[in-house]
Each structure stands twice: as C-alpha cells, then as structure tokens.
Amino acid sequence: MSINATVIGNVTRDAETKATGKGTVTKWSVAVNRKVGGQESVTFVNCSWFGTRAEKVAQYITKGGKIATHGEIYQREYNGKQYLECDVTNVDLIGGARGGQSPAPAAAPSGNGFSEADYGPNPADDNSFPF
C-alpha cells in the first residue's frame, strides 16, 4: 500500500545532491508544524528525490524556505527510532529566498491598493445588492 501526500513546511537543511550507482539523489528535510488542542508539535520528514529535475531544483531548496513536497510517504525504523520519509515526485517552492536569506519586506500599500481614480467607484458600495 502506498500513501501519496503533500507535505507543506519549512526546509530544515539545504538540499544535498549525491551520485548513486543509478543516477543522482537529492535529499533534504521538512519540519511540519501543527497545533492540536492547544498543543504545538513538529513532525520532521526526510525527503529524497531522484533524477536530473531534482538536481536542477536543489539550489532553490534552502534552509528556512517554505516548500510543498509531493510524494509517497512511509515510515521506517532505525536503532529503535521511527522516521517519516517521503519519496518525492514533485515540489512547489512556496516562500523564502535563495541562500536562506529573507528579502527585505516591501512597504505595504496604504488601504487596499486600489483607488476610484484608477478603477471607478466600487459597485459594492452603492447598496444595490439585495443582501
């Protein structure tokens, strides 16, 4: 039985690519934060992605970045400890910056960023809706 899932969290270490007898593998780890009943917990998922696509994307998978990792999830035991693993099929880079450095935040626009001068009056303000 295989369990396909999307793991969304923060990268805990930069991706490392290594050569194997059958090609290359890129590995990294993701921390998934969750809150249940007021208790916070963190689950760590070790990710492995095989092939040339992984090599090309590895430079963007950096510590602190937010990532959505898609793949097959399984659990393994090593020296009496349980580990959660993911054989990756695809990733979506959600946030963070290359090199683990966050960019300086841009100045937030005042209001909602729209003005009547640019777009005309807001039709939701004319009370013509029956609700």
Residue 75 has what DSSP assignment?
A: E
pLDDT at 31: 94
Contact (CB, 8 A) for 7 and 32: yes
Taken in order 37, 41, 46, 52, the sign of the CA dihedral is positive
Q: Give the integer Cα–Cα distance in Å for 42 and 122.
A: 44
Q: What SS3 string covers 11-70?
A: EEEEEEEEEECCEEEEEEEEEEEEEECCEEEEEEEEEEEECHHHHHHHHHCCCCCEEEEE
Per-residue pLDDT of the chain (131 residues; tens, 9 = 90+): 678 999 999 999 999 999 988 899 999 999 999 888 889 999 999 999 999 999 999 999 999 999 999 999 999 888 888 889 999 999 999 976 544 444 444 444 444 444 454 445 555 555 554 54
Tell me, yes or no, if the pTM score tops 0.75: no
Residue 109 has what DSSP assignment?
A: P
The structural domains of the chain, ordered by start, are 3-96 (2.40.50.140)
Q: Give the integer Cα–Cα distance in Å for 11 and 64.
A: 5
